[in-house]
């Protein structure tokens, strides 16, 4: 089934009110609620004195109303007694100042005391509720995010480096520390700078790896506390924040059963591709369906302008998440608390305890999801195109942008957008994931290249796959040092039949053109040397700075079963559309059927190969979709023979009629 519900905080409310809150939840069609992720001080008001009675009663009431429960471990908000008694559990900023109580995630992720205390509370919760038949899943902490700079973290970082490099000689060589006399003769000399400090690139990359490792260990402490008590089928997740990149999400996701994320539009309105790509990113963490653990009921309270989404827009957002593999949509939060920092956030129930206008929209979603629960349960999106995402390349690039506007995610979106707009499904996966089963792989700014990665990409092309390497690919090794070969590195240059003679950072766009492609490259241009006769030049740079004039900009090599495009330009949107049309056509990748612009098709297929198509009108005018076959529409429960009308922000779920 597809779950639907909200985050609920019974601890904010007098118990007499709970039945009414939960009645309204049931009336909205809620099938799940998330509880307790900030309730440590209520569950353990005094050290060692656990009080779960209130939570038992809240859970009982929910179960009476047929609502399942996800429990959050409360470690993002330790109680005040805890941070007072154990001050070393507080994180320190880079100037050595401890965090203050009353915010969130203010703990030191490596604090042994905090590990112990977290293990105890998570373990106690699991002992009490792990076997509960209606507690279906567990969320660890809430949106990991902080870096702690305390002396203990610093010492751990040095131990981490020692384990990795073994000797200072090795570290000094890999980090090129002869540069600016950075050479270390004692592990204690190695600094622990902020990732934005502009420090040595090798050091910064290890720092990010260390932060990833620290959160993984902290998460593992809790997984180990939970797992032995959980019944079969109960899952463990963490709620990520989309493109947030303080740690490597693939590393952390390895130990989870399922990924989830919190999707907020913030200021303005939803954008079809920027939202969709994060669903695909999150699905890629475990390469399976995920949960939308939080999303905004209308508006948030923390953006620059907390505007209300248009009527119907949240419904589109919810269905798009489902279309991209969400098996649940939960609003944050159910009801406005009187106090606390989030008084102005959107909710379903207002401060008076009555449904807000938005409630009706949520209720409609609840009804619709109930109508397709059986149809969509057990289905998944499937894609033949994968975009590779790599945190290490992203970090490396962002520390040394060379052009202030060059942004890793925006560049990735320049590939994602035209494919998504053509309704060709896409996976976003780790650059180290298996490439089996794909027809087209795109490696945007895959800057960090080692032999294993390069070989996997080369093998993919040799097996007949189509591969796009972009600007800034194959520049550095795993220690964030420049490769001792030209881009894209020796293995891939061999297959691409080109090498990058030089990169030019552009203060102004330069023309790019060939037979069927005309446009501009902005921010970046790579002048290519063609090495092989199997290589065709698709486009050249036009007249510009003299260095680039008439030089190859985009090539394709056809000498190895598949095709390898090297794109040495950062194309403008129109030219990118033309280029992607060509690539998709050549790879024989097509949408399931044609739709008017602004209508998205999201197929979800079950194990027997039966596909349900979620159709989403992202725009505010009516659209008419011609279906290629006689169809069953499952929300309006009608048979469609020919055309289907989609109202403003309209949704349809169709299958081929038998
Ligand atoms: C999320 C957080 C929630 C709530 C929400 C408000 O980042 O996980 O607890 O604060 O933002 O939009």
Instruction: List pocket residues of ligand 1, CB cut-off 6 Å.
Output: 142-143, 262, 264, 294, 300, 332, 342, 345
State the distance from the centre of ligand 1 to the C-alpha of 426, rounded, in angstroms: 28
Binned at pLDDT 50, 70 and 90, residue 328 comes out as: very high
Pocket test for ligand 1, best of 292, 297, 332 (most atoms within 8 A of CB): 332
Query: Model-level pTM?
Result: 0.98
Backbone angles phi, psi at 523, to 5 degrees: 70, -40
Query: Which atom of ligand 1 has the smallest separation from the CA of 241?
Result: 7
Write the DSSP string, 87-146. Answer: GGGB-B-TTSPBPPTTSSS-B-TT-HHHHHHHHHHHHHHHHHHTT-TTEEEEE-SSS---
Q: Which of 11, 94, 113, 143 is catalytic?
A: 143
Q: Which residues 6+ apart lie within 8 Å of 223 measured at CB?
A: 140, 236, 255, 256
**Stretch (H or E) spanning 292:** strand 290-295
Fold agreement between 3-89+102-146+209-376 and 385-586: no
State the distance from the centre of ligand 1 to the C-alpha of 214, rounded, in angstroms: 23
Q: Which residues 6+ apart lie within 8 Å of 195 measured at CB?
A: 147, 204, 207, 208, 246, 395, 399
Distance (Å, rounded) from C-alpha 221 to C-alpha 223? 6
pLDDT digits (tens, 9 = 90+) for 473-526: 999 999 999 999 999 999 999 999 999 999 999 999 999 999 999 999 999 999
- The residue ranges of every structural domain in the chain are 3-89+102-146+209-376, 385-586, 599-656
pLDDT digits (tens, 9 = 90+) for 330-367: 999 999 999 999 999 999 999 999 999 999 999 999 99
pLDDT digits (tens, 9 = 90+) for 86-97: 999 999 999 999
Distance (Å, rounded) from C-alpha 18 to C-alpha 387? 46
294 is catalytic: yes
State the distance from the centre of ligand 1 to the C-alpha of 178, rounded, in angstroms: 45
Is the confidence at residue 658, as pLDDT, over 90? no
- CATH number of the domain located at residue range(s) 3-89+102-146+209-376 in this protein: 3.20.20.80
- What architecture is domain 599-656? Sandwich (2.60)
In the block, tokens 């965090």 appear at 99
State the distance from the centre of ligand 1 to the C-alpha of 345, rounded, in angstroms: 9
**Stretch (H or E) spanning 412:** helix 408-421
Distance (Å, rounded) from C-alpha 64 to C-alpha 60? 6
Query: Which atom of ligand 1 has the smallest separation from the CA of 264?
Result: 12
State the distance from the centre of ligand 1 to the C-alpha of 639, rounded, in angstroms: 41
In the block, tokens 């990409």 appear at 457
pLDDT digits (tens, 9 = 90+) for 31-51: 999 999 999 999 999 999 999
- CATH number of the domain located at residue range(s) 385-586 in this protein: 3.40.50.880
143 is catalytic: yes
Using a 10 angstrom Cβ sphere, with 0-12 exposed, 13-18 middle and 19 or more buried, the burial of residue 3 is buried
pLDDT digits (tens, 9 = 90+) for 631-644: 999 999 999 999 99
Give the other-Cβ count within 10 Å of 508's Cβ.
Answer: 9
Q: In the chain, pLDDT over 90 holds for what percent of residues? A: 99
Nearest Cα to Cα of residue 415 among 436, 393, 446:
446
| DSSP tag of 340 | S
Q: Which of 294, 313, 499, 600 is catalytic?
A: 294
3-state DSSP assignment of residue 29: coil
Contact 290, 261 (CB under 8 A): yes
């Amino acid at each position: 089934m597809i779950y639907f519900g909200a985050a609920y905080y019974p601890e904010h409310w007098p118990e007499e009110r709970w039945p009414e809150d939960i009645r309204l939840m049931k009336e909205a069609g809620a099938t799940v609620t998330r509880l307790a992720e900030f309730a440590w001080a209520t569950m353990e008001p005094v050290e060692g004195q656990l009080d779960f009675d209130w939570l038992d009663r809240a859970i009982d009431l929910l179960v009476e109303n047929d609502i399942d429960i996800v429990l959050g471990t409360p470690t993002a908000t330790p109680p005040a007694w805890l941070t007072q008694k154990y001050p070393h559990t507080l994180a320190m900023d880079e100037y050595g100042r401890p965090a203050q109580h009353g915010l969130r995630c203010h703990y030191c992720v490596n604090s042994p005391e905090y590990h112990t205390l977290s293990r105890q509370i998570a373990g106690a919760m699991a002992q009490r509720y792990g076997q509960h038949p209606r507690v279906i899943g567990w969320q660890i902490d809430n949106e990991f995010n902080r870096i702690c700079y305390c002396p203990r973290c610093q010492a751990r970082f040095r131990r981490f480096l020692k384990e990795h490099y073994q000797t200072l000689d090795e570290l000094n060589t890999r980090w090129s520390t002869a540069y600016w006399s950075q050479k270390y003769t004692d592990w204690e000399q190695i600094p622990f700078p902020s990732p934005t400090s502009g420090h040595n690139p090798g050091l910064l990359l290890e720092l990010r790896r260390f932060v990833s490792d620290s959160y993984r260990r902290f998460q593992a402490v809790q997984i180990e506390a939970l797992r032995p008590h959980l019944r079969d089928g109960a899952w463990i997740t963490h709620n990520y924040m989309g493109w947030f990149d303080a740690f490597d999400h693939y590393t952390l996701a390895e130990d989870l059963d399922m990924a989830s994320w919190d999707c907020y539009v913030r200021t303005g309105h939803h954008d079809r591709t920027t939202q969709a790509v994060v669903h695909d990113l999150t699905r890629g963490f475990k390469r399976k369906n995920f949960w939308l653990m939080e999303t905004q009921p209308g508006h948030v309270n923390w953006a620059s302008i907390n505007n209300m989404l248009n009527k119907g827009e949240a419904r589109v957002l919810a269905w798009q998440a489902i279309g991209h593999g969400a098996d649940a949509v939960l609003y944050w939060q159910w009801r406005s608390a009187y106090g606390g920092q989030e008084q102005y956030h959107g909710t379903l129930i207002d401060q008076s305890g009555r449904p807000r206008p938005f409630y009706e929209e949520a209720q409609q979603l609840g009804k619709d999801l109930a109508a397709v629960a059986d149809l969509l349960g057990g289905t998944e999106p499937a894609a033949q195109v994968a975009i590779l995402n790599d945190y290490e390349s992203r970090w490396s690039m962002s520390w040394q942008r060379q052009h202030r506007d060059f942004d890793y995610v925006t560049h990735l979106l320049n590939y994602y957008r035209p494919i998504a707009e053509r309704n060709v499904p896409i996976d976003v996966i780790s650059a180290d994931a298996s490439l089996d089963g794909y027809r087209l792989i795109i490696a945007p700014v895959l800057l960090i290249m080692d032999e294993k990665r390069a070989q996997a990409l080369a093998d993919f092309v040799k097996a007949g796959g189509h591969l796009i390497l972009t600007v800034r690919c194959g520049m550095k090794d795993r220690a964030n040092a420049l490769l001792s070969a030209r881009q894209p590195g020796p293995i891939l240059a061999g297959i691409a039949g080109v090498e990058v003679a030089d990169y030019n950072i552009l203060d102004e766009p330069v023309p790019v053109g060939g037979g069927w492609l005309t446009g501009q490259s902005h921010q970046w241009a790579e002048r290519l040397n063609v090495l092989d006769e199997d290589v065709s030049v698709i486009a050249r740079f036009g007249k510009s700075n003299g260095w680039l004039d008439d030089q190859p900009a985009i090539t394709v090599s056809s000498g190895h079963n598949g095709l390898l495009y090297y794109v040495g330009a950062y194309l403008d949107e129109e030219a990118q559309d033309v280029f992607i049309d060509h690539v998709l056509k050549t790879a024989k990748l097509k949408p399931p059927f044609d739709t008017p612009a602004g209508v998205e098709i999201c197929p979800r297929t079950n194990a027997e190969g039966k596909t349900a198509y979620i159709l989403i009108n992202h725009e505010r005018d009516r659209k008419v979709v011609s279906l290629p076959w006689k169809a069953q529409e499952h929300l309006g429960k009608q048979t469609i023979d020919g055309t289907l009308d989609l109202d403003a922000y309209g949704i349809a779920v169709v299958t081929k009629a038998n």
